[in-house]
Structures are given as C-alpha cells and as structure tokens.
Chain A
Amino acid sequence: MHDRQTWRLTRFNLRHDWQLIILWLLMIVGLTGAAAGKFNGLYGDSASITSIVKVLKMPAMTAILGRFSGHSPFTTADIFANEMMVFLGLFVAMMMIFFAVRNSRQEESNGELELIRSRSVSRVSPLLAAALELLIIAITLGGLLFVSLQASGMHGMTRQGNLLMSFSLAGFGWAFGTLVLVLAQFSESPKTVTGLSYLVLGISYLVRMLTDIKAPKLSLYTPLGWLEKLSPYHHNYFGPVWVTLGIGLICLILAVLLVGQRDLGAGFINPHLGRATASPFLRGPFSLLWRLTKFSSAAWLIGLFILGMAYGSIFNSIGNLFKSNPELAKIMGHAAVSAANQTLILQFIALLMIVFATLATIPALQVLLRLNTDEAKGQLELLHATATPRRRFYLSAVFMSLLIGTFVLVGALLGLDTANLMVLAHPIHQHDFIWAVIAYLPPIYTTLGLSALLVGLLPRWQWISWLIPAYGFISLYLGRLLDLPTWAKRLTPYGWINEVPVKEPQIATLLVLLLIAGAAFLIGGLAYCHRDLIEN
C-alpha cells in the first residue's frame, strides 16, 4: 500500500506545484535554448572561437564560469558547454532547493502534513513522494534541455554530448534535491532549511572556484566540480553522472532513515526556551524587524564577506599576465604589464560587482516584502490594532531593507579588499573599492524603491520584484558573452552602472537613480498607508 499512497501524494503535490514547475523549467530551458540558439552567431567561426577560448581560459573567467576543458580544434558546442555548465548547475540547484523545501519541511510546518499523516499514510510516504516529484521534475528538465539543445543546431554538437549535458544537469539537480531532503530533517523551520541548502551550494561553488584556480584536480571532490569534468562533445564521460545519482540515492536513504527517527513537526535541532519578557530594546516595528532578521542578516553579511575574500584571494592569479600569457607579457615590458595586470583585476571586480549587488539585494528585498508576507500570514493584525501608525511599519521596513542592502554590499567589498591587501604585492587602490560601493548602492536602492511601489500599489503582485535582481544578474553576468544589446542590459537599474571601477562612475546617472528610488518609496508609502490591509 506504501507505494500506492506515495504515488497518490506525488500526484497531489504535482497538482499543487505544476504552475511553478512550468515557470522554473521555462526559465532554465528558455535560458539554455536561447543561449544555444545564439551561439552559432556569436562563436560560429574559428577566429571568434580562438579569441573567446583565450578569454575563457583566463583565471578570472575560470573563477566565475568554471575551468575550461577540452582540446583544440574547439567547436561552438565546446564553448557553450564550458561557458554554461556551472552556471546552469547553480540554477538547477536553486530550483531543486525550492521544490524540495516546499514539499518537505514547508508542508510539515504549515500543518498540511499532519492532515495527510492522520490518514493511512506511512511516515516515509510523504518523503518518498517529495523525492519522486523531484525525480519527475529532473527527468522533465533533462528531456526538455535535450530537445532544446538538439533544436539549437550548434556547430560541433553531437547527440551524445547533448544527452550528457541535459541529463547530467538533471541528475545533479535530483541529487542536490535529495540532499535538501536530508537537511530538511534537521531543523523545523523551512527558512533554516533553505538557508542551510544555499550554504551548501555556496560553499561548493566557492571550493570549486578555489580548486579550479589553485588545484584543478581537487575540483573533482565538489558537487559542481563533477559537472565540469564531463567533457561533453569530446570525451563524453558519463561516469560522474552515475556517481551523482548514487549519491542522490544515498541521500534519499539517509533522509528515510532520519524521518523514521523523529516526531512529526520536530527537527533534530531542538528549540530551547527563550525569554519570559521582552528585552527593553523591543519597542517598535523597527526593533521587531531587527529581532526577526538579525541572524539571517548576519549570515548574509558574513557569507558575502567570505565570498568577497574568496574572489579576492585569486587576484594574484588573475592579474598575472606573465603566467596566463607569457609571450604578450614579454613584448609589453614590465611597467606596461603591471598596468595591464591592474586593469585585468579591475575588470574582474567590475564583473563581481554585479554578483555582489544582486546578491545584496536579496536579503534587503526579503525584509521589505515582509510588509505584505507577514500581513498575509496574519502576523501583523495584532500590531495594526495598536497605537502604531502604518507609516511607521512602512518606514521601518524601508530603512531596514536599505541598511541591510548597504551593509551586505559593503561586507562583500571589505572581504574583497581584505584579500586584495593580503595577496597582491601592489594592491588595488582603496578608492576603487569605495567608488564601486558608491556606484552600486543607487541601483540597489532603486530596485528596492520599485519593489516598495509594488508593495504599496499591487500587493498581490509583489513577487514581480524578484525579477529585477534575477534578470539584472542574468542579463549583465552573461550579457557580454551572449552579446545582449545595450537596451536589454539596461532594463534593470544595475545595467546603468558603467563598468565601475574600470571607469569612473557617472554621478548624474547615480543621482537620477536615487531620485527614482526616492519617488518610488514615497508613492509606495502613500499607497500603503491608504489602502486596505490584506488580511483574509
């Protein structure tokens, strides 16, 4: 009966999730298909291939996109595989974290699981149902990726290579999803589980970066490293795919063992008793937000500081023309080479700024959107009946989000600068870091402002806010490699910042961004204070 109930639950979950699944799949498959379709135009001839291979082999690109593998003659498909693999792996993992948490811990903490478990459903069935849904998503993803790659007609692609690319990503995603199911057994809060999962993903990305730069062989020991070692369109190593699936299976067994050991709704990390009375600082909406977000904000700050340090620690490999291009370095002469090295690092920083700015937006946006998400959960109803005006709730959320965005970005650059001072004999100047912060704070504020507008005017559509940093990241991070037109890169506020710190920031643009942010905050606030609250 076990398996029939599992299947029944899976169908029930799928009915719940199918729209979201389609949205995620469309995003990932669409991105892959669009990129693959464009690649013949971008890197169709041998001249453009030779030049992009040089770029991709530079340490900076290795750090970001993964190590370039394979041997010449290179085809368009090789470029595609090397450029997109790690990146797509990240996206697939994010999707799997989303669905794994949703169907395990979130369902449990909502109390839905209690209803299900009261029927003749075993302790393990809901977990297996979640794993099965992840598998269905993964297989669909693999199939769709394969079809879209086949249809792209890239030069040099093979059916076997396309198969490997598609299903290695699918397998990786499924294995990561089952890992999340294990993590879901430990904490009773879905937010903590999501946080832990992203921590694992982040660490595995960072470790891969460091090993790719310093000791490529060791990358084999990181989950994202397996994706790099497949050599699609060349050797077509299917070995790592089986390893991934095996690890997924082990994770699943572990999760099953763990779920059998614990109480419904409980985690292995038990909550302890807290304060009987509130601290004297807990006085208003702002201190409440601080109380609610201090741990996650600190985690973001430390996380981005470490990310910054990790990127900064490879500055010496990036700004080393003697190593990466010895012939050129010989011709240029010493002084010119050290200037060129500096420029290479600055370019690397300019690219990193997009990562940092969009990442710093995430915790800031989360706080801002709480105005409506906590409201919808009914948590604010008690507060709105007290003698605290609505504008204080709004202003508190706005200021807290601005503070978090600012501090997290500063934290990332402090990390970058710390490593800069440690690893470089001639470190990058301090003012370059300061300018980078000054240039990238306004687009973060503008994104928050536009989101506040949605919070006030269209509370039910506030999730659209997430598209701004998401699209900003994709359009700018990959925009150059995909040769996106300028207007397409300028659809988000981040796209208006011109390669700072390589170039000077344009003060006028920054001021306009700040003005837009200010106006949007104002209108959003007025709307928020003059509309119905979204209690149900």
Chain B
Amino acid sequence: MTDPVVSIQHLQKRFGHTQALSDVSFDLYPGEVFGFIGPNGAGKSTTIRILLGMLRASGGTATVFKKNVWRDDVAIHKQVAYVPGDVFLWPNLTGGEIIDFLLRLNHQSHSARTDDLIKQFNLDPRKKARTYSKGNRQKVALIAAFSLDVALYIFDEPTSGLDPLNEEVFQQNLLHLKQQGKTVLLSSHILSEVERACDHVGVIKAGRIIKTGTLADLRQLTSTKVQVQTVQPLTDLANQPVSNLKLSGHDTQATFTVATNHLGTVMDQLANHQIVTLESTPPTLEDLFLHYYDNPGDDQHA
C-alpha cells in the first residue's frame, strides 16, 4: 500500500483552557479527494492550520508527505496550495499583484493557466483589493491556488461568498485536479459540494473525528427512504426492521425508511407481495450529517 499524503493520529490542540481538538485522526492517500465535514467551530480550520504549521499541536502527530508539519513546514509548503475560508488582502494591492506574489512565494510564476483561471472566474485583476467583495477576494485565493502545480491542495470552506456560477467553476477545477490524480482536502459544510467531488469523508464534531470512510460506507449506517406499491396488502411490514411506516390505499401503498444494511431482507419480503412501483431514495450527505449531529450519543460508539 502506498504511503498516505496526510496522516493525522490523535491530534490535540488546546488554546488556554479551551480544548479545540481532542482526538482527530485520519489518513489521506494519493489521488484521494477527502471531504472534511462538520459545523462551524468543530475544529476544521484548527486542524488545517496545524497541518500548515501555523499552529503547534498540543498532542498527537501529524505528517504531510511523511514530514513533520511543524518542523518541516517550508519543505511541505512547496508542494501545497491553500485557500482559507476568509480571505483578507492588502487593500492597496491589486488582485493581479497578489496572485503573482503568492505564486512567486511558492517559487512558481504567472502562467497561461493563471490567465485562463482569471478569465474563468471572471476577475478584474487591476482592481485594488479594497474594492473587492468577499467573493472576489475568495477568487483571488482560488486562482492563486489552482494555478499552482503542487501535490496537495487544501481548501477551507472555499466557496463561501461565491455566486453559483463561480461555484460551478470551482467544482470544474476541483474535478480537473481529481482527474490529474492530485490529492485534495476539502473542508466544507456545504454538503452538495462534498458529495459531488469527494470519495472519502471525515466527520468532525466538537474537536473529535466521529466517522471516516467512503461515502458508500457511511450510507450503510443510515436509512434509505422507500416508497412502494404492491398488489397484496403490506400489513405484515410492521414486523420488519423498518421505521416511519405509513400505509395507505387499502394497505397496498407504503412509505417507510429502512436501515441500509437491512435493505436486502426487506426487499425480499416486498418481492413476495408483487411490487407494482418502487422508489428508493438513498440518504444524502445532509441526512448523514443530521444523523451524526442529531444523535449526541453516537460519537461514543463511532
């Protein structure tokens, strides 16, 4: 098995008396697009800032490219592009100047790709940063990140403030990175964004990773919604491992939810009743998210 690009083991961080991170562990392998999801204040940005050597971990270990994130930060940064959630720029510099400057700090330069990105995101690079809206400041950081040719891309809630058109441009470029086999860490609470691009996700809650895995893995743990119509009445469905059961139309129509791992058994049972129509909705990331966040007990046995 190849070595992970990012490896975090039991990471902890305290700020004075507040425990910002209590136990964060996950690995990120080459070519993976990892969705780091959790609500505001759960510790996403703190984890990322530790990965970037801006904050020092209070416990646990974190490596990027098998290097220590605190000690070897500069060596690591040569192969990292980063977009923070809130981009603040010097009011007197233009967007174009800042993009070039950021590229040069990583020993790279303005390329045809940069021009292309400026066009894609529809940014006027001659305007002073003071006149940029939040979305435009975000674009400056995104353009600088996407035009870097590096191994690892880290995005911390990158689309906050972008309009739908630019969000789409972001998604396209993200998919482009994925096709090129780049490794991406995408922190977000906009779940559709994560769902579209990420193959692996980690859920963080109150400074603790409560679940990691592929989207398919996570879906196993939640329920699928089923709408079914049969010829024979479905009264015996109540004995099955289903919940929220609602019967109608002389008990031949039913809607219910079923835990994904029991889906097979229930389907077998339904088949005996001669299915007329069947509609099943797989859980969205929204459902997953609510599942993990609505059940405070869940993090114990995760």
Bound-state Cα–Cα, A361 to B93, Å:
26
A 368-408 contacts with B by CB, 8 A: 374, 377-379, 381-390
Chain B residue numbers with a CB within 8 Å of A485 are none
**A-B CB pair tally, cutoff 8 Å:** 110
Distance of A272 from chain B, by nearest CB (Å): 8
Report if B189 contacts A (CB, 8 A).
no
Instruction: Check B128–A276 contact: CB distance below 8 A.
Output: no
Whether B281 is near chain A, meaning CB under 8 Å from some CB there, is: no
Of the candidates B49, B92, B99, B105, the one having the most CB atoms from chain A within 10 angstroms of its own CB is B105
- Of A17-25, A143-151, A282-290, the one with at least 4 CB within 8 A of chain B: A282-290
B54: interface (CB < 8 Å):
yes
Complex contacts, B92 vs chain A, CB 8 Å: 189, 292
Interface membership of B221, Cβ < 8 A? no
A282 and B52 contact, Cβ closer than 8 Å, known pairs A292-B90, A292-B92:
no
Number of interface residues of B (CB under 8 A): 45
Mask for B211-248, Cβ within 8 A of A = 1, else 0? 00000000000000000000000000000000000000
Whole-angstrom CA separation of A382 from B126 in the bound complex: 20
* B104 adjacent to chain A (CB < 8 Å): yes
Task: Show the binding face of A for B, using Cβ within 8 Å.
Answer: 188-189, 271, 273-279, 282-284, 288, 291-292, 374, 377-379, 381-390, 530-533, 535
A387 in contact with B126 (CB, 8 Å): no
Task: From the candidates A282, A384, A389, name the one contacting B101 in the complex (CB within 8 A).
Answer: A282
Contacts of B86 in A (CB 8 A): 378
Contact (Cβ within 8 A) B82 A271: no
**B280 in the interface (beta carbon within 8 A):** no
Which residue in chain A gives the minimum CB-CB distance to B141?
A382
Chain B nearest CB, measured from A532 CB (Å): 5
Q: Which residues of A lie under 8 Å from residue B104 when comparing CB positions?
A: 278, 282-284
Closest Cβ of chain B to A419, distance in Å, is 34
Q: Which residues of A contact B105 (CB under 8 A)?
A: 284, 383, 386-388
Residue of A nearest to B81 (CB): A385
Given contacts A277-B125, A382-B82, contact A387 B74 (CB under 8 A): yes
- Nearest chain B CB to A105 CB, angstrom units: 12
Q: Which of A273, A377, A535 contacts B127 (CB 8 A)?
A: A273
A292–B110 Cα distance when bound, in Å, is 21
- Measured between beta carbons, the chain A residues less than 8 angstroms from B87 are 378, 382
Bound-complex Cα distance A91 to B119 (A): 52
Q: Is the CB of B126 within 8 A of A276?
A: yes
Residue of A nearest to B107 (CB): A387
Pair B84/A386 contact, Cβ less than 8 Å: no
Q: Is there a chain A Cβ closer than 8 Å to B181's Cβ? A: no
Task: Please pick, from B89, B101, B106, the residue contacting A387 in the complex, using a CB distance under 8 A.
Answer: B106
Q: Does B130 sit at the interface, judged by CB under 8 A?
A: yes
Contacts of B97 in A (CB 8 A): 274-275, 277-279, 282
Whether the Cβ atoms of B55 and A385 lie closer than 8 Å is: no
- If over half of A's interface residues share one DSSP class (helix, strand or loop), that class is named, otherwise mixed; here it is loop
Interchain CB contact under 8 A, B74 and A388? yes
| With known contacts A275-B126, A384-B54, A385-B52, A379–B80 Cβ distance under 8 A | no
A107 to chain B, nearest CB (A): 16
Which residue in B49, B88, B110, B141 is a CB contact (below 8 Å) of A277?
B110
Closest chain A residue, CB of each to CB of B92 = A292
Bound CA–CA A178/B267 (angstroms):
79
Q: In the bound complex, do residue B94 and residue A276 qualify as a contact, i.e. CB atoms below 8 Å apart?
A: yes
Indicate if the CB atoms of A532 and B54 lie closer than 8 Å.
Answer: yes
In the complex, what residues of A have CB within 8 A of residue B91's CB?
189
Interchain CB contact under 8 A, A532 and B55 = yes
Known: A276-B94, A284-B105. A535 touches B49 (CB 8 A): yes
CA distance A288 to B127 in the complex (A): 18
A/B interface sample: 20 pairs, CB < 8 A: A189-B91, A274-B94, A274-B127, A275-B96, A275-B97, A278-B97, A278-B101, A292-B93, A378-B88, A379-B88, A382-B82, A382-B87, A382-B144, A385-B81, A385-B82, A387-B75, A388-B77, A531-B56, A532-B55, A532-B56
Residue numbers in A under 8 Å from B10 (CB-CB):
none
Given known A-B contacts A277-B125, A384-B54, A535-B49, A271 and B106 have beta carbons under 8 A apart? no
In whole angstroms, how far apart are the Cα atoms of A183 and B100 in the complex? 34
